[in-house]
Amino acid sequence: MIRLGAVSYLNTRPLVAGLEAQTGRFHLRFDVPARCAALLHANEVDLGLIPSIEYPGHGYNIVPGISIASDGPVASVALYTKLPTASIRSIALDTSSRTSQALLRVLCAHRFYIEPVLVPMVPDLPAMLRECDAALVIGDNALFADHQGLGLRKIDLGKEWAAMTGLPFVYAFWAGRPGIVGPDDVLALQQARDRGVVATVTIGREMYPRDPARAARADRYLREEVKYGFGEREVAGLARFYELAAEVGALTPGDVARLTFY
């Protein structure tokens, strides 16, 4: 049985549709992105839905055709602030994912042209903004944050990346050691994605059965803002991210290697 480590956020659900029922093939567990990567690095899962920043330097293979990506606004990776971007001097960082932290560092250097102090914190938006000028929040916390009610401006990092590069941004993908999965396993993961992307209404209702407004927002998010392919444009976007992440010191340049697929 293949041990799968998946991200616990809403945007993962279309990728795991039906996998929990395949008990003879997969065993599935959910964690925050950074924990998924740590489990894979420690060989406690066989295949992890890992943040893209965790791929270089480990010799992993990637399951082809599947990612969590955006091609424009993503809604769930965002910077919140009351200040003009140029006035931001400190940013509280959601500790849940190194990829979003690296993306923010890239955008600060190449899009916003600021050099803020970066302060890792647990994702509590009001507490983060008591300590810093702005806060990076990801996942469901960002998607459903009432930033207008808090008097905040929301800067969507997926939108800023697309405006800067003209390319998609790849947040996560399935990866594992060579030989862990075969063609039938890859097909099963791709079929799960195919089931999931046409079941977003159901997923939204299952995730938020007592909140129709939130369920409807979840459906729209999964249909319109998150992308689940991994084609040539996503590969180009990922390669550009690795290049820029190395420039800002978020990656060791020698770790950035060619993508290897199962």
Structure tokens at 14: 């279309």
pLDDT for residue 71: 98
Share the mean pLDDT of the chain.
94
User: What is the tens place of the pLDDT at every residue in 100-159?
Assistant: 999 999 999 999 999 999 999 999 999 999 999 999 999 999 999 999 999 999 999 999
Q: For 253, which DSSP code?
A: G
In the chain the domains, ranked by start, together with CATH numbers, are 2-69+168-255 (3.40.190.10), 77-165 (3.40.190.10)
How confident is the model over 232-253, as a mean pLDDT? 94
Q: What is the pLDDT of residues 155-169, one digit of tens each?
A: 999 999 999 999 999
Rounded Cα–Cα distance for residues 81 and 211 (Å) = 27
* More reliable by pLDDT, 22 or 5: 5
CB contact set of 116 (below 8 Å; sequence gap of 6+): 88, 89, 90, 91, 108, 133, 134
Indicate the residue type of 61.
N
CA distances from 262 to 2, 65, 169, 199 (A): 15, 10, 21, 27
